[in-house]
Amino acid sequence: MTKNKRRSKAASSHDASTPESTALKDSVGCVSQGDMSPVSLCQAVLRKQLTEGVSTYRNSEKGTHLGEGLHQEERQLLDLLRRTATSGESNSVLVIGPRGSGKSKLIKHVIAELLLDDHIRENLLQVHLNGLLQTDDRIALTEITRQLKLENTLGDKVFGSFSETLQFLLEALKSGDQSSKPILFLLDEFDLFAHHKNQTLLYNLFDVAQSAQAPICVVGITCRLDVIELLEKRVKSRFSHRQIHLFNSQTFEDFIVIFKKLLCLDVNFPDQKFADSWNLQVEQLARDPTITDILRQQFEFTKDVRALQQLLMYPVCQLSEMSPSLSVSDFVESRKLITMDSKSAMLHGVSILELCLIIAMKHLTEIYEGEPFNFEMVYSEYSKFAQRKSSMQVFEKAVVLKAFEHLIHLELVRTVDGAGSRVQKEYRLMQMLIHPTQILDALQKYPQCPTDVRQWAASSLAT
Amino acid sequence: MDGSDPPIADTVSSISESIPCRESQIKLLLSLFGEKRCMTVPAIFAYGHTATGKSAVINSILKTCKLPHVLVNCVECYSSRFLYEAVLNGLYTNNGRQKPETPVKCENMNDFVRLFRHTCMDLHLQNETVYIVIDKAERLREMDANILPAFLGLQELADGNMCVILLSEIVWEKFRCGTGFQEPFIVQFPDYNKDELLRILVRSAPEGYSAEFYQMYLSLVLSVFHIVCRNLSELQHLAAINFRKYIEPIKNGEATESDSRKLWKNFEPHLKKALQTVYLREVSSTQWERMLEESDAGKMMTQQGLSSRTHVELPYYSKYLLIAAYLASYNPAKSDKKFFSKHSDKHKKSKVIKKQERTNNHMLGPKPFPLDRLMAVFYAIVEGKVAPTANIFMQITSLVSVHLLSQVAGDDQIDVPKYKCLVSLDFIKSVARTVNFDVVRYLYDFV
């Protein structure tokens, strides 16, 4: 199976370079074995598009306005990598941009473009590192030797201690010159590498890039704008200070184009007739006033493409033989699912006694202007209310304390000085983590809320 | 669909038969999971109150659809290494394979992702979505900072088709940290309302009684407990252990099943008592059942309850030291002169201070006091002459070690340590009674 082969290749050399289109074909070819209807096939393809994202750069050559801004950055990066790959130049660059702005996508795309050249494909070595995985330099070094398949590796095993591996690696790099094979280092979550002890790895990589040794190109990917400030002085001075910024600078029109792109089927879809009618339907959807309204809200909330992908996931998942087209109501439902206030939802499920305690805490916070409170104060506030109103049963202190502890467990209230303070539970100072409007909101929706409790919540200073 | 798999509607109905009132969640999850070969969202975060069927729903979906999955609990896997190894080894055993001869060893995230890829390949799972369910996910926040983001982005990191499902009672906002990460798809499990609780509880009706009769009983139980507790498993437990008491009049022949008023009259005081005892774990459930047999529940309880055992045997001077510590903790220092000086005029001063102006110290909790003040109060209240021997100071430190006092400041200083008194008013009253000392007369709050 093609996919199988691809994966084994990826496992050995961490090759992430397979071009988008073949990957898409793979998945389609793979799933189409089981005689699938066009709808489920379409769902499979869309699911893949929504989890992996679609490249927004490819169209830039065709002259659509989307990705026009990125074209510049793409060319810059491609130039740089090509110079390393062909003429033995050593470079370093940082790609900076917020989460979901397509940093990894850009690099993947650039590498794919780079590897179209046969000469480069045979020569260029790639090392992919991720700050989340290689949490210290020792792990990073073994990973580098593993990916470069150096002499001290046997299959998956890497031999030697940290210092031996480092020395070995540096010697291997030093012995090379301009004619040796160029290496491309990709450091994802670059800011996490800056937290390693002494920044040894970064120092050595940048040092090799600076001096006339084997040609390497260090590409850091990060979402921190101030990442340069994290570097030590000696590391900073060896870095070339070449930065590529990616911002979500699309307008609302671009946003709609992305929306269409994420939902459209491309030319590789086997049933072209279905694909055409599907794309027509997506075009119509994009003009629907409800949809544009939802997209506008989403756009004003975040321009992150990943968030958009998540918004579209639910409607796509609802596709089936029975409902072969995307319905507007599913988009509304999806938006509702995503924007739900989770704290109000949690408040909906607490018991009436716990609700009373929350109201008592709200009153205490209002009266004492945000000063912390303890259980005794809450209890006396509660019992003042419960004794005055006959409808409410007055519960024992221990029962109330159990309810109070449940609220702590749900992290709706929090101890001011951590859990380790050496006072009795009743006297531990607490702070409420719910906003008063959230409480009033939740009270509106609370099922069968006693009227006097509601009134008590509204009248804050009346004791 | 994979031909052999039943269509979604059938799966929904078969699962919701065993887990009622969760149709919409089951439907949502099933549609998100989709077919085995399809890509799924990289991560799902399911939250809801205790016992709202989070793990039950997800487990039964994964089992009924025979999806390759592994379940781990973060309470058991308290360190990252255990977590990785549990996932990797669980993948083998959960999918009908023999355990590998040597259990997989994995120390860090890097190895985990590599080994995870290998394992999937070993088990021929490349073309199916592999699910990793992490229960009690709030514990992940206390582990290494890279674990949560790495699990959320596992689909990208391991370059395969997998879905990480996090279950928690805490809302998602409290998980965000650092520079952010891929947001999971959030699924809420709402609480059961009263009708739904009844519908679920009535399923465990004991044999020999009609469903209506048991429902009647349940609505009585709920009428007392629902205001306080919405936890399904707790209610289930309470309903199960109190049922015997409810049907007692029927067994004795005093009432019939239709005689609901009489049954309620007999049962109500009993339930109220249960609220104060079994619900708070004052008495254990087995004790409670034994009490039901001996019928006179209340009397036994007062003797046996956990919290009623506040009486502690202490040495004579320790008692006085504890009383002195209590007085020093709950009285302001400026009132000491009034209470303990022999020459002060008690009546004149107490009239001057108005009651409203004071803050109630029993509301604010104990205040710290220095050792000197403790000793001064101790000498003022203790009868007879006591030499400040090593024994007295030893007793103070041993009171700290049994958590009746606590040292709050000056851990490193031997001459001016500060203490707080950690006992309740009831406790100190009972201690004072044993030495015939009227502690209330010396408390600022009660004068």
Q: Which residues pair with B421 in a beta bridge?
A: B405
Lowest mean pLDDT among A60-74, A91-105, A266-280, B381-395: A60-74
Spell out which residues of chain B touch residue A44, defining contact as CB-CB under 8 Å: 35, 37-39
Query: What distance in Å separates the CA atoms of residue B404 and residue B416, rounded to the nearest whole number?
Result: 19
C-alpha torsion angle, residues B137, B140, B142, B143 (rounded to 10): 160
DSSP B438: -
* pLDDT over 50 (residue A295): yes
Say yes or no: B41 contacts chain A, CB-CB below 8 A: yes
* Residue B369 confidence class, pLDDT cut points 50, 70, 90: very high
pLDDT tens per residue, range B316-366: 999 999 999 999 999 988 888 888 876 655 555 454 455 555 567 788 889
Which pLDDT does position B98 carry in this prediction?
Answer: 67
- Our CA-based measurement puts residue B259 at a distance from the nearest CA of chain A, in whole angstroms, of 27
* Residue A66 confidence class, pLDDT cut points 50, 70, 90: very low
Query: Do B285 and B234 meet the contact criterion of CB atoms below 8 Å apart?
Result: no
Which pLDDT does position A94 carry in this prediction?
Answer: 94
Say yes or no: A432 contacts chain B, CB-CB below 8 A: no
Residue contact A374–B188, C-beta within 8 A: no
With tokens 């101890």, the residue in question is: A415
Q: SS3 of A68, please?
A: helix
State the average pLDDT over residues A153-174.
Answer: 76
Give DSSP secondary structure letters for B159-208: TS-EEEEEEESS-GGGG--TT--PPPEEEEEPPP-HHHHHHHHGGGPPTT
- Our CA-based measurement puts residue B110 at a distance from the nearest CA of chain A, in whole angstroms, of 5
Query: What distance in Å separates the CA atoms of residue B209 and residue A45, rounded to the nearest whole number?
Result: 55
Q: SS3 of B303, please?
A: helix
State the average pLDDT over residues A85-93.
Answer: 89
Burial profile A286-312: b = 16 or more Cβ within 10 angstroms, e = fewer? beeeebbebbeebbeeebbbbbbbbbb
Residue (of A341, A328, A302, A344) closest to A100 by Cα position: A302
* pLDDT over 50 (residue B411): yes
DSSP A373: B
State the average pLDDT over residues B111-128.
Answer: 88
* The two structure tokens encoding residue B73: 């609990």
pLDDT tens per residue, range B153-165: 999 999 888 999 9
Residue B215 C-beta-side C-alpha neighbours within 13 Å: 11
Give the percent of chain B with pLDDT over 90.
41
List Cβ neighbours of A322 (8 Å cut-off, separation of 6 or more).
Answer: none
What is the pLDDT of chain B when averaged over all its residues? 85
* Residue A394 confidence class, pLDDT cut points 50, 70, 90: confident
Show which of residues 162-181 on chain B sit within 8 Å of chain A, judged by CB atoms. 169-174, 179-181
pLDDT tens per residue, range A341-384: 899 889 999 999 999 999 999 999 998 888 999 999 999 999 88
Residue (of B330, B326, B352) closest to B423 by Cα position: B326
Lowest mean pLDDT among A12-21, A47-56, A452-461: A12-21
Q: Which residues pair with A243 in a beta bridge?
A: A94
Say yes or no: A256 contacts chain B, CB-CB below 8 A: no
Say yes or no: B230 contacts chain A, CB-CB below 8 A: yes
Spell out which residues of chain B touch residue A102, defining contact as CB-CB under 8 Å: none
Which pLDDT does position B296 carry in this prediction?
Answer: 57
Which pLDDT does position A460 carry in this prediction?
Answer: 65
Single-letter amino acid, residue A461: L
Query: What distance in Å separates the CA atoms of residue A137 and residue A134, rounded to the nearest whole number?
Result: 7
Residue B382 C-beta-side C-alpha neighbours within 13 Å: 22
List Cβ neighbours of B341 (8 Å cut-off, separation of 6 or more).
Answer: none
* The two structure tokens encoding residue A277: 């009618």
Show which of residues 66-105 on chain B sit within 8 Å of chain A, judged by CB atoms. none
Indicate the pairing of strand A430-432 with strand A413-415. Answer: antiparallel
With tokens 């689909």, the residue in question is: B155
Strands (E), B99-238: 130-135, 162-168, 185-189
Lowest mean pLDDT among A225-234, B303-312, B368-377, B392-401: B303-312
Residue B293 C-beta-side C-alpha neighbours within 13 Å: 5
- Our CA-based measurement puts residue B33 at a distance from the nearest CA of chain A, in whole angstroms, of 8
Show which of residues 161-190 on chain A sit within 8 Å of chain B, judged by CB atoms. none
Determine phi and psi for B280, rounding to 5 degrees. Answer: -90, 5
With tokens 């169209």, the residue in question is: A59
Say yes or no: A415 contacts chain B, CB-CB below 8 A: no
- Our CA-based measurement puts residue B78 at a distance from the nearest CA of chain A, in whole angstroms, of 18
